[in-house]
Chain A
Amino acid sequence: MLRVFRTSAFRLTLLYAGIFCASFIALFAIIYWSTARYMDRQLDDTVSNEIAEIESDVANGSVASLQNIVSGLTLNSPGFFYLLQDHDGNVLAGNLPAMAPIVGIIDRAHVEIQDRTLSLRGKGVSLNENAFLFVGLNTIELHKMQRAIARTFVWGLIATIFISLLSGAFISFAMLARVEALSNVSREIVNGDLDRRISLRGSNDEFDHLAVSLNTMFDRIQGLMDGLRQVSTDIAHDLRTPLTRLRQRIEMTLRKADDVASLRTAFQATLKDVDSILDTFSALLRIAQLETSERRAKFTDVDLTDLLRTAIELYAPMAEEKEQSIIEKIDDGLTIRGDRELLLQLFANVLENAVRHSPSRALIEVGARRLVDGTVVSVCDNGPGIPEEMRTKVFQRFFRLEPSRTTPGSGLGLSLVKAIASLHNISVELLSNEPGLIVQVRFG
């Protein structure tokens, strides 16, 4: 429960509630002040009218006539309070005690009349013969009104505070519940349940966006984990065979070889075995590195035309030895973004496969063209090809087609091609050349 007070949502709500209350107070102050002013002005106007009427009635008359009028008004105008005094301060008429003759609007609090204490507001004027007339009204109604407004305000403020705190608590509870759900799932994943995913609410709000990003991240992590697991399984599985063979050879040598010459031969063979194990090992590491690397930052513009010609030139003598011809149909000036060394390795691998697996006198065609939707490189041969059902399998580590199992090679070439391709977001497709194989590489 107490956690809710520590959430940022709640703090934010408190802040908003504070701002809301402050603006409420400001609004009230303005209303209160302008209402009070309006009422004062109303009162002042009433008093001024009364005085103007008295003045017009008297019309430059003597103080005595004024005295009569004021006395009459005092009896007949309830609510109004009058005072007429001469210049010595003697009360001539009215129902108020004598006062200092101040001309203009005057507020008089605590005026004692008979047994009552009143608050008055009124206007004083100076008349002929230095007589002073004051007409005032009781402000008790005014004050009552102001108090009523203030009371309404206090209730309003309490309600505002109550509602904003309540809604704040509600909002932060709701948000907290969703965050809690996210962190629960994360915790379960941390604890090893890698298949768990955060469920979406379908409201397409920030939480759903966050959930989608987190789920994508979890997918990626799981992918990497699976990759790693795959690598370790592969290593365990496929390095065990050569290591076992190596062990047997050493054991045999220890048992049988008793002269230097046969020891030498045995050691040479052993060294060869170890080298091939090391090669496999570093190829696996390289693939794993590529699969997890963030090498894209180092991508530059690569001259694809030149790169393909380099690869062809590299394998030209090998093809020549097998009397194969490599036909080159490469457009000039093709450029792509990527890592030159890795791309060269990709095409070298593809070309090497073509040269190695195609029979003598085969035709190998390397084509590269820029199409509307990107650049396409295809390496076609008329060798044995790859049966359709095997075409995805050949990209797996250590997978080798039956006829090539006996030839040297690690079975990692196309896995490396795939790793380089996915780093570059390139698609590599295997198609049939009827007969033969087409390796089609598409740059997006």
Chain B
Amino acid sequence: MKILLVEDDRETGEYVSQGLREEGHVLSWATDGQQGVIEASGSEWDLLILDRMVPEIDGLGVVRLLRGVGVETPVLFLTALDGIDDRVTGLNAGADDYLAKPFAFAELVARVNALGRRPRRTLVETVLKIADLEIDLMTRTVSRAGHVIDLQPREFRLLEYLARHMGQVVTRTMLLENVWELRFDPHTNVVESHVSRLRAKLAVGGEKELIHTIRGAGYCLRDA
């Protein structure tokens, strides 16, 4: 993926850009908002990672400017501003995701992947298939190897989210935010218990494990 990072802190900038390069992304790094706007509107990017507090034009301003001139590149805010309302402000300005500093690198990678590939996998498909698992998004039914699996609405949303990010690592907080719409971390194994319940239900139809636990990162739905 071709990613533009706007970050004024040298340490964080190096940490993020080096790490993402190792993950196989192509990275460009701007150190202030003005440079960020120029580069972001100058060429095609798959993702913008913005710090909220950067010199010249702040992160919010950058997003507003870009959205104003029709640049629809996904934006991920990466910021130490973690107030109750900061997140809402950021998303309202036109950002697609918000990650508070300090963060685990696995969390960043998961979110970058989720954002970058999202546009290519939009609502075109109505049936998602992973091995012998079929998820019908229209009728909201799930079947495995022909057996219909009865899921509660929230379980369906959990599976749907995992399936939409098939093959990608999805973190606990991403699940909390997107499946339960929780902006806080309950710090207990709430997510684990929901996932293991879902696993148990999926195991009824076939024996092969589809939801994989990625240590220190999260979960991944894939056929392997």
Residues of chain A whose beta carbon lies under 8 Å from any beta carbon of chain B: 275, 278-279, 282, 285-286, 289-290, 293, 295, 298, 310, 313-315, 317-318, 320-321, 341-342, 344-345, 348-349, 352, 356, 408-410
Contact = CB atoms under 8 A, between A and B. Distances in A.
B184 A318 contact: no
A318 B188 contact: yes
B84 A352 contact: no
A317 B196 contact: yes
A348 B186 contact: yes
Interface in B168-201: 180, 182-190, 193-194, 196-197
B82 A282 contact: yes
Nearest to A319: B193
Interface centre among B100, B102, B183, B193 (most CB of A within 10 A): B193
A390 to B, nearest CB: 22
B24 interface: no
A345 B196 CA distance: 23
Interface of B: 82-85, 100, 102, 104, 152, 154, 180, 182-190, 193-194, 196-197
Contact of A345 (B82, B184, B194): B184
A356 B102 contact: no
Nearest to B103: A278
A341 to B, nearest CB: 6
Given A289-B84, A317-B196, A279 B187 contact: yes
A315 B84 contact: no
A321 B193 contact: yes
A344 B190 CA distance: 14
Given A278-B102, A320-B193, A321-B193, A314 B82 contact: no
A203 to B, nearest CB: 44
A310 B190 CA distance: 13
Given A286-B84, A313-B154, A314-B180, A352 B193 contact: no
A286 B187 CA distance: 15
30 contacts: A275-B104, A278-B102, A279-B185, A279-B187, A282-B82, A285-B82, A286-B84, A289-B83, A290-B84, A293-B84, A295-B84, A295-B85, A313-B152, A314-B180, A314-B182, A314-B190, A315-B190, A317-B193, A317-B197, A318-B188, A321-B196, A342-B84, A344-B182, A345-B182, A348-B182, A348-B184, A348-B186, A352-B190, A356-B188, A408-B187
Contacts of A282: 82, 100
Contacts of A410: 187
B183 A341 contact: yes
A352 B197 contact: no
A143 B158 CA distance: 109
Contacts of B102: 278
Contacts of A310: 180
A141 B83 CA distance: 91
Given A317-B194, A320-B193, A341 B184 contact: yes
Given A289-B83, A289-B84, A293-B84, A318 B154 contact: no
Interface centre among B180, B187, B194 (most CB of A within 10 A): B187
Contact of A314 (B100, B152, B186): B186
A318 B189 contact: yes
Contacts of B100: 282
B109 to A, nearest CB: 16
Contacts of A293: 84
Contacts of A313: 152, 154
B136 to A, nearest CB: 23
Contacts of B187: 279, 408-410
Given A278-B102, A286-B84, A289-B84, A318 B183 contact: no
A349 B188 CA distance: 10
Contacts of B180: 310, 314
Nearest to A345: B184
B177 to A, nearest CB: 11
A344 B82 CA distance: 19
Contacts of A356: 188
Given A278-B102, A313-B154, A314-B180, A352 B196 contact: no
B111 to A, nearest CB: 17
Contact of B190 (A290, A298, A318): A318
A318 B188 CA distance: 9
Nearest to A413: B187
Contacts of A349: 186
A379 to B, nearest CB: 15
A308 to B, nearest CB: 14
Given A282-B82, A293-B84, A320 B188 contact: no
